[in-house]
Amino acid sequence: MNIKKEGKFFSNHLLKEIRDKFYYVDSDPYEKRIYFENAGGSLTLKSVVKLISEFGALPDSPNRPSLASKALKDLKNKGVEDVKLFLGTNNGKVVADETASRLIFSIVGAIIENVSGTNVVTTFLEHPGNYDACSYYAKKAGKELRSANTNPINGGVNPEEILSKIDDNTCLLSFIASSNITGKNLEARKIIEEARKIKPDLFVFLDAVQYVAHFPINVEELGVDGVVFNQYKVFGKRTMGLGWVSKRVSILPHERMLEKAIDEWDLGGSEPAGFGAWSSVVDYICWLGTHFTDTKDRRSLILIGMENIMLQERALLERALNGSDKIDGLRKINRANIHFIPENENLSTRALLLPITIEGKNINEVVQHYLKNGIVVFERVQNNVMSRRILDNLKCKEIIRVSPLHYNSKEEIDRFLEVTKSII
In angstroms, rounded to a whole number, what is the distance separating the alpha carbons of residues 148 and 305?
34
* Those residues with Cβ within 8 angstroms of residue 245's Cβ, 6 or more apart along the chain or in another chain: 92, 93, 95, 107, 225, 226, 265
Looking at residue 32, its pLDDT comes to 98
- Give ∠ CA 156-340-303 in degrees, rounded to 5: 60
Structural domain boundaries of the chain? 3-44+308-423, 50-282
Our measurement of the distance from residue 89's CA atom to the centroid of its chain's CA atoms, rounded to an integer in Å, reads 18
Looking at residue 5, its pLDDT comes to 76
Helix (H) / strand (E) element for 355: namely: strand 354-358
CB burial class (10 A; 0-12, 13-18, 19+) of residue 56?
Answer: middle
Helix (H) / strand (E) element for 363: namely: helix 363-372
Looking at residue 269, its pLDDT comes to 79
Task: Tell me which residues of the chain have a pLDDT lower than 50.
Answer: none
Closest to 38 in 3D by CA, of 186, 159, 227, 213: 213
Answer yes or no: are the C-beta atoms of 284 and 278 closer than 8 Å: no
- Give ∠ CA 21-40-332 in degrees, rounded to 5: 95
Answer CATH for 50-282 from 3.40.1710.10, 3.40.640.10, 3.50.50.60, 3.60.10.10: 3.40.640.10
Pairing between strand 203-207 and 226-230? parallel
In angstroms, rounded to a whole number, what is the distance separating the alpha carbons of residues 203 and 171?
6
Answer yes or no: are the C-beta atoms of 405 and 25 closer than 8 Å: no
Query: What is the model's pTM?
Result: 0.97
Looking at residue 270, its pLDDT comes to 83
Is 320 strand, coil or helix? helix
Answer yes or no: are the C-beta atoms of 240 and 274 closer than 8 Å: yes
3-44+308-423 folds as Aspartate Aminotransferase, domain 1 (3.90.1150)
Q: Cα dist. 353→36, 112, 128, 153, 171 in Å? A: 9, 32, 19, 15, 32
